[in-house]
């Protein structure tokens, strides 16, 4: 009997061992199947995330391109605005000088020393003078007018400083010629 027991026990032991091995293999195969499923799920998730990253990268590149275009447009607009402001300032300065030139031309007309053509020619230069220099110029012109000899109607010229005979007039006329730049 002891052999039988020993045999049963050996057979039982082998059966139990075989059952334990089968159970362990089944459990490992189940875990393997679960892990394989998890790997597939993670691979799909990774592929999806890679696709999302590629899409976002593409959208980012597109947006960066648009930002660059808008930056170029903004810079062009800034340059255009600066040019327009400079043009406006230039035109305002020209208008102010034209106004000053007209006012100074009116003052020169009152002195009766220049022809209208000469006034028109000199008005722009007069507008360039600051107020102090202009006031000094007006005083010089008034002095020339006050110091000039009375002119006769037949030969004297206030603009050339010569008489009809071609002779130079008085010292005041010479001074007048210097002041007038003749």
Taking the chain (182 residues) in runs of 10, the rounded mean pLDDT of each run is 64 86 91 92 92 93 94 94 94 91 90 88 90 90 76 46 44 54 55
Q: Are 122 and 111 in contact (CB under 8 A)?
A: no
Question: Hey, what are 50's tokens?
Answer: 């890679």
Query: Would you state the pLDDT for residue 104?
Result: 87
Residue 104: exposed, middle, or buried by beta-carbon count in 10 A (0-12, 13-18, 19+)? buried
Q: Are 167 and 143 in contact (CB under 8 A)?
A: no
Query: Would you state the pLDDT for residue 76?
Result: 94
Q: In whole angstroms, what is the distance from residue 22 CA to residue 15 CA?
A: 10
Query: Would you state the pLDDT for residue 69?
Result: 94
Instruction: Quote the strand ranges of 38-155, DSSP E.
Output: none
CA 80 to chain centre: 7
Q: Whole-prediction pTM value?
A: 0.46
């Amino acid at each position: 009997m002891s052999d039988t027991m020993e045999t049963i026990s050996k057979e039982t032991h082998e059966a139990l061992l075989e059952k334990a091995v089968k159970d362990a293999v089944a459990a490992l195969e189940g875990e393997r199947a679960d892990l394989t499923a998890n790997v597939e799920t993670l691979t799909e998730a990774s592929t999806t995330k890679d696709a999302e990253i590629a899409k976002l990268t593409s959208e980012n590149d597109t947006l960066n391109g648009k930002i660059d275009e808008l930056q170029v447009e903004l810079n062009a607009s800034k340059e255009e605005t600066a040019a327009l402001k400079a043009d406006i300032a230039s035109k305002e300065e020209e208008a102010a000088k034209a106004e000053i030139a007209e006012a100074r031309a009116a003052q020169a007309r009152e002195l009766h020393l220049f022809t209208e053509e000469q006034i028109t020619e000199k008005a722009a230069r007069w507008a360039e003078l600051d107020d102090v220099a202009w006031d000094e110029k007006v005083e010089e012109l008034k002095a020339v007018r006050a110091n000039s000899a009375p002119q006769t109607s037949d030969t004297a010229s206030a603009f050339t400083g010569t008489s009809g005979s071609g002779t130079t007039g008085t010292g005041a006329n010479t001074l007048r010629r210097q002041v007038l730049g003749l």
